[in-house]
Amino acid sequence: MGRLFGTDGVRGVANVDLTAELALGLSVAAAHVLAEAGTFEGHRPTAVVGRDPRASGEFLEAAVVAGLASAGVDVLRVGVLPTPAVAYLTGALGADLGVMLSASHNAMPDNGVKFFARGGHKLADELEHRIEAVYEQHRTGEPWARPTGAGVGRVSDYDAGFDQYIAHLIGVLPNRLDGVKVVLDEAHGAASRVSPEAFARAGAEIITIGADPDGLNINDGCGSTHLEMLQAAVVEHGADLGIAHDGDADRCLAVDAEGREVDGDQILAVLALAMREAGQLRKDTVVGTVMSNLGFKLAMEREGIELVQTAVGDRYVLEAMKAEGYALGGEQSGHVIVLDHATTGDGTLTGLMLAARVAATGRTLADLAGVMSRLPQILINVPDVDKSRVTTSAELAAAVADAERELGATGRVLLRSSGTEPLVRVMVEAADIEQAKAVAGRLADVVKSALG
């Protein structure tokens, strides 16, 4: 069996890769593994289960709930809520397990299962490996030990989660948003109700787009992967800024008043300065990844803030933050973790904090984001290649070495396999965008020929 868990849970085409049987089996396996680990010891276990609005989430939620209840776990269904809301409620309600059904920014036919441990943190790698092993062991014949009678799990809807999560978001904001006009693009996703409500309660004047999910339109030409609608709406409405989420709202990208994108690196830069000013940026350090723009690193150096870089994936950012006690970290893609207030990337919280900085300073978002200058960065996704060979191909290694010699100290090259999709990402940074395009194009061609 190949690895089921990627960098962000188990993900694939719903009803093809991710079936009801798989979702049910993984849920039972997770319950057994956590029981073995002592998580349930001395009490009746409880799980929080949420989902994004995808049509497939309806049958997958039913499968997960059935699996957990059949393993003796009581289930609180919180319905359609963002991934960070499920993580927050898992911690706030003292649950032993959280489960989110979402494929985040992926297209509608995909879906995913993501588990959270007690406290709302992502499961450790070793627990995921153990869940896979136990699932496979029982899939191939060994029967589960099943409770009966009063030992089976009970299932109930927990409707208070919506208001509880919004109250948490409002409660951690440093200041209100009165006087700030914001356009919100909800990607027809999990934050379609939560985010507008939170911004409105915080005092912002809001215009909302992409907030009519029908189960089929999630991420379709909108949200953080398609900023064009938001950019046009911000300019049309004369807004101070725009905020875009992805399907499960664990990420946030922004648009300034002129319609220009403000990416995750720039958001991190703005929040790092705000948190240091408030005495909240522990060790004067922010955590990024190897994909962080070189301009971000240079800006942080100039401001006297250290940048710690990890492998790509918000789980690795979070690991570094927890290990060293850092308060802020994130990715260029818009996953931003404010560890004092969230256990995972929270797009709604990030957007609120960014708008709060605009409100508190009276400065434009463009002015605030101008603390860093983005070096031109070209990213090419190369599909239908053997991504497992990206680190072992001699032909590819030689091409990368040639590219690095050409760029010298003014740029860099990064090749990596996607953790969630079957492709290789080619990233090139250079002071000159035409040079970056040329080098990236050549490397993408080599990836196709060497790994095709």
The DSSP 8-state label assigned to residue 122 in this structure reads B
Asked if 180 and 254 touch (Cβ cutoff 8 Å), the reply is: no
Q: Output the six-digit token pair for 231.
A: 């950019």
**How far apart (Å, rounded) are the C-alpha atoms in residues 113 and 376?**
35
DSSP 7-21: BTEEEEEBTTTB-HH
**Surface-to-core class of residue 423, CB atoms within 10 Å of its CB (0-12 exposed, 13-18 middle, 19+ buried):** middle
**How far apart (Å, rounded) are the C-alpha atoms in residues 101 and 105?**
13
From residue 23, how far is each of 64, 174, 285, 448 by CA, in Å?
6, 40, 39, 34
Q: Output the six-digit token pair for 422.
A: 């079957």
What are the φ and ψ backbone dihedral angles of 388, each rounded to 5 degrees? -70, -15
Set 56, 104, 224, 417: catalytic member: 104
104 is catalytic: yes
Beta-bridge mates of residue 184? 208, 243
**How far apart (Å, rounded) are the C-alpha atoms in residues 183 and 235?**
10
Return the SS3 of 261. Answer: strand
Other beta carbons less than 10 A from residue 362's beta carbon:
8
Asked if 93 and 48 touch (Cβ cutoff 8 Å), the reply is: yes
The DSSP 8-state label assigned to residue 374 in this structure reads P
**Surface-to-core class of residue 42, CB atoms within 10 Å of its CB (0-12 exposed, 13-18 middle, 19+ buried):** exposed
**Surface-to-core class of residue 16, CB atoms within 10 Å of its CB (0-12 exposed, 13-18 middle, 19+ buried):** exposed
Q: Output the six-digit token pair for 331.
A: 């990715």
Asked if 36 and 126 touch (Cβ cutoff 8 Å), the reply is: no
| Residue-wise burial string across 304-313, b where 16 or more C-beta atoms lie within 10 A, e elsewhere | ebebbbbebb
The binding site for Mg(2+) consists of 104, 246, 248, 250
DSSP 263-276: -HHHHHHHHHHHHH
Return the SS3 of 232. Answer: helix
Binning the chain into helix, strand and coil, the percentages to the nearest 5 are 40, 20, 35
Beta-bridge mates of residue 185? 209, 244
Catalytic residues: 104
